[in-house]
Each structure stands twice: as structure tokens, then as C-alpha cells.
């Protein structure tokens, strides 16, 4: 399971990470970036969601039904 983690850095910025859990333990962390403004934070959140979405497997393979 993957989720987005926001946290405060030592410099006062907001850090964004994508964390992966297996059996209740964090097994992998991908640092997306740090933001000092709300606009930058919004961009980082979209980028983090894109990382999660890129690794998802589709539930159905609809390409084999296209004519």
C-alpha cells in the first residue's frame, strides 16, 4: 500500500514523501520534494499522486477488447 506523507522539515518547509507499507511496516520511501509555499506544495502533492498512480496495475485489461 502506498500513501503520501507530509512533514515539517528542519528549515520549516513542508516535505512530501511517498511511503510504501507491507504488513504494517514502511518498506520504501521516495522523497518527492520540499515546499515553502502553498502553490509549490500543491504541485508536489500532484507529483506524489502521479508516482502512486504510475505503479498501479489496472483491474481489467480493456485493450484486448478494442476492435
Residue 65's pLDDT is what?
63
At a CB cut-off of 8 Å and minimum separation 6, what does 66 contact?
none
Q: Does the predicted TM-score (pTM) go above 0.85?
A: no
Q: What pLDDT digit, counting tens, does each position of 38-66 carry?
A: 999 999 999 999 999 998 887 877 776 65
Q: Give the start-to-end residue ranges of the domains of the chain.
A: 2-56
DSSP state of 23: T
26: which residues sit within 8 A by CB, 6+ positions away?
19, 20
- Cell for 38? 502553498
- Domain 2-56, CATH number (from 1.10.10, 3.40.50, 2.60.40, 3.30.160): 3.30.160
- The confidence score (pLDDT) of residue 19 equals 97
For residues 63 and 67, give the distance between their C-alpha atoms in angstroms, rounded to a whole number.
Answer: 9
**What pLDDT is recorded for position 60?**
79
pLDDT exceeds 80 at position 6: yes
Amino acid at each position: 500500500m502506498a500513501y503520501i506523507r507530509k512533514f515539517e522539515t528542519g528549515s520549516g518547509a513542508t516535505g512530501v514523501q511517498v511511503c510504501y507499507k507491507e504488513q504494517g511496516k514502511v518498506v520504501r520511501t521516495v522523497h518527492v520534494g520540499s515546499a515553502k509555499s502553498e502553490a509549490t506544495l500543491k504541485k508536489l502533492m500532484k507529483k506524489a499522486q502521479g508516482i502512486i498512480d504510475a505503479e498501479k496495475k489496472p483491474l481489467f485489461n480493456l485493450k484486448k477488447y478494442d476492435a
